[in-house]
Structure 1
Amino acid sequence: MGSMDAQASPCNNTSDPLCYEEASGSLAVIIIPSLLAMSTVVVLTGLLCALGRRRKASPQRPHLPTCYTNHGQECVSISPAAPWEIQEDWALEGLEFCETGRYGPVCRGTLRREDVTTAVLVETLRGCYNPTMAEEFVDWILFHGAVCKHQNVVRMLCCQTQRIPMYIVLESCIPGNLLQYLWSLRNRDVESLDSLQHFSERSVYLVAKQVAAGLDYLLSEHRLVHGYVAARNVLIGSGLSVKVSGLGLAFEARQCQTGKQANWRAADVPVKWQSPEQMMKQPTTDRSDVFSFGIVLYELITLGSPPYPDLEAQCVLTQLHKSYRMKRPNNCGVPLYDLMKYCWMWNFKDRPTFSAIIKLLESYMYLADNKDLCILEDIDISDYSRRAGVRL
């Protein structure tokens, strides 16, 4: 029995080093995990206390409004464009429907701010049943707020995103659309004209310079290509002041840069306003806008005639490749026509930049005729639509 006890309890002798070593190992198994557990509790407690203090110190994020469908179903929660929200003492007056836009009805009217009234266009989001469309509409608002800060680009005045209907209010001009203004100048009694209706070749230079300035701003300040440069996408106001509008394709490009998708379609640009590279579905550049700007010069000097009047839309690319260019219009001086042809160079690298175009317009302006342009032929809308290849 004694020998068996000695074998079963080898560590009764605490002076034995082997016995001390084994006892220490047993204590380590107990103490070390306990210390690790205690330190973990202390660290977690400290983190939770710090987070609690941070939450208490920082202001609470304001509750974002939720918009609902007509049936009361929640569809999307949207962050408002707070800096541009319409103020309580502002009022939209005299709204009249003018067209259906990408997002819904577009109306003309006036914005009253205290005793000041401004002509405006109001683009409204059609209901709120589509969260993706609602989010894109807010991006459209923020795009205008960030980009449109030039006197020759249409600006946003305010918006509404915190309640239904959501809308964006853009500044407008009187008389308004440049193409329709050019049509109004046809077949007129020159002796009874008011100051706004005096429109000469020199006026073409003044208007063109402002269009070029707006497009140059979009490129130089925001690296944006307009994509649909045409007289119908320009607004004209008193004193022949001009603002570039129709920024849907520029917005789409910005959305792509930020990894988002927009539903604007480049295919909506009529062929006769496209550059050769656009017609061939190649990437567009600022020089693509320059080609289209040459078409705008043609529209201006012809008081809104359709481009390539002798060609069907499907034949334009082939003829351009064969070096065909529109002939010099009546009332068009040689310097202005040379600028058109410069813009219409086949290779986009051979076309001028907008900054160069502005300088050319300034240097040629003194050569421009100041006699009122007059074309006796009225515009037939259906005939124009057919020859221009556009739907009006």
Structure 2
Amino acid sequence: MNSSEDFHPNENGWQNSIIIVPTLLSSSTLLTVIIILWRLFSRKRGDKRDAGERTGDARNGDYAVNMGGVYEYPLGAPDPVLEMKQLPQDWRVEDRAVLCVGHFGPISRAVLVGKGEDRCEVILKELSEKCSPGEVQDFIDLLKFYNEVCNHGGVVRMLWCQTEAPPMCLIMEAMTLGNLLLFLRESHEEEMADTPSAVCSITEQDVFSMASQVASGLEYLSGTHNLVHGYVAACNVLIHEDMSVRLCGLGLASVQHRTGSFPTSRAARVPVKWQSPERLREPSVTEKSDVWSFGIFLYEMVTLGAPPYPDVDPAKFPKTLKKNYRMAKPQQCGERLYDVMTSCWQWEALNRPCFTNLLKQLQNFSAEANGSTLLRATDTLNWAEYLRVAGIPS
């Protein structure tokens, strides 16, 4: 009897424990989860705020590609990859003249003076002193890209770099006549003066030669490194007085080389008249979209820098292109060259040739090109009008 009475109170206590203990455990677990989530949320807000302070507003494009990146090699410490490319201490830079302000900072033409007072013209791409840590790392990555990838006659090459003392800079070979688009546009002034110089004398055969060199550089990027350029145009080609040319403007390719993907936000800044149909529909940049742009580049050269689709307003260009509109053959353009152009402008990307095939066509057709008649400018636009018609922000 006693044993039975003892059992009931214990049974009631056990039943209460079954109810109370899980309740307490559930409450404490829920509280712990809430605290963890609150801390994670607070940390993300702080990280986002810090990244915004370091890199700027992404919507305005004022940000480093390497968002909030950490600089692996502080200024003054040697980078093992770039150590052999450091500018020798007994070399100096003279006669610096700023050409423009690029993505990282000022771009200048200068003279490099070495031992024995040897001199050579160079292009300096400098890193701004007001850069973020992410931009510093991006610049280091750009230098590594030039060192590892730009070892081909069709692309501009790095001579030296400076990372162990400010300002950080990339030192590239200079081409005596500079930017091809500006060179072509200046030929308009030569014609108006009716005293064309020998340097500005370009024939259709020269166009084939220069186009082959650019196509060779693009074939190297796509074939050897699986990279795309993203903005194939006369403004991204440099020309020497012997009519040799090299591809430049490789910033988009350098980002793709580092990250494995194409920076669509920066690629969207390319003027629409150089973009392929699929690229206008969605942010897709491939070798075949570069091929489309290469056809526009051929048009630029044979017209001595005329804006593409001169009779189409840039705002209406996508709709006009969708109607299967293509540029007519320029008057001074041979049939062979125009055939190459139109093959680049096939609506379906798969139907366009690759750069290997384009290079073969250009080399085979070059012998048939006109090598005696000088090309003439096909428009009389001033620079401001050119920018407006081409759809390039001034």
Place the TM-score, normalised by the shorter chain, in its bin.
Answer: 0.7 to 0.9
Q: CA deviation at 1:188?
A: 3.1
TM-score norm. by structure 1 comes to 0.77
Residue 308 to residue 262, structure 1, CA distance change in 2 (3 Å): closer
Q: CA deviation at 1:234?
A: 0.2
Larger Rg: 1
Residue of structure 2 in register with 1:279 after alignment:
280
Residue of structure 2 in register with 1:23 after alignment:
none
Q: CA deviation at 1:128?
A: 5.8
Q: Equivalent pairs: percent with the same residue?
A: 38
Residue of structure 2 in register with 1:388 after alignment:
390
Is 1:212 the equivalent of 2:215? yes
Question: What is the 5 A alignment of 1:88-103?
Answer: 88-103=89-104
Residue 369 to residue 123, structure 1, CA distance change in 2 (3 Å): same
8 Å CA contact retained: 2:306, 2:378: no
**Equivalents in 1 of 2:194, 2:99: separation in Å?**
32
Q: CA deviation at 1:254?
A: 1.4
Question: What is the 5 A alignment of 1:118-267?
Answer: 118-127=120-129, 130-188=132-190, 193-257=196-260, 265-267=266-268
Q: 1:67 aligns with which of 63, 67, 75?
A: 75
Deviations 1:297-349 (A, max 9, x none): 00001100110111122322222222110011120111111111100001110
**Equivalents in 1 of 2:169, 2:283: separation in Å?**
34
3-state SS of paired residue (2:306): coil
Deviations 1:205-261 (A, max 9, x none): 11111110111111111111001100000000021111000001111211222x8x9
8 Å CA contact retained: 1:175, 1:181: yes
Residue 364 to residue 272, structure 1, CA distance change in 2 (3 Å): same
Question: What is the 5 A alignment of 1:231-380?
Answer: 231-257=234-260, 265-370=266-371, 371-375=373-377, 377-380=379-382
**Equivalents in 2 of 1:174, 1:240: separation in Å?**
10
**Pairs aligned (count):** 319
3-state SS of paired residue (1:88): coil
**Equivalents in 1 of 2:295, 2:255: separation in Å?**
23
Residue of structure 2 in register with 1:113 after alignment:
114
Residue 127 to residue 264, structure 1, CA distance change in 2 (3 Å): farther
Structure 1: state its 5+ residue gaps: 1-63, 69-76
Q: CA deviation at 1:282?
A: 4.1
2:269 maps to a residue whose letter is D
8 Å CA contact retained: 1:136, 1:262: no
**Equivalents in 2 of 1:335, 1:106: separation in Å?**
38
Residue of structure 2 in register with 1:38 after alignment:
none
**Equivalents in 2 of 1:192, 1:172: separation in Å?**
27
**Equivalents in 2 of 1:345, 1:357: separation in Å?**
14
**Equivalents in 2 of 1:352, 1:117: separation in Å?**
42
TM-score norm. by structure 2 comes to 0.76
3-state SS of paired residue (2:104): coil
Residue 233 to residue 376, structure 1, CA distance change in 2 (3 Å): closer
Q: CA deviation at 1:78?
A: 7.4
RMSD: 2.2
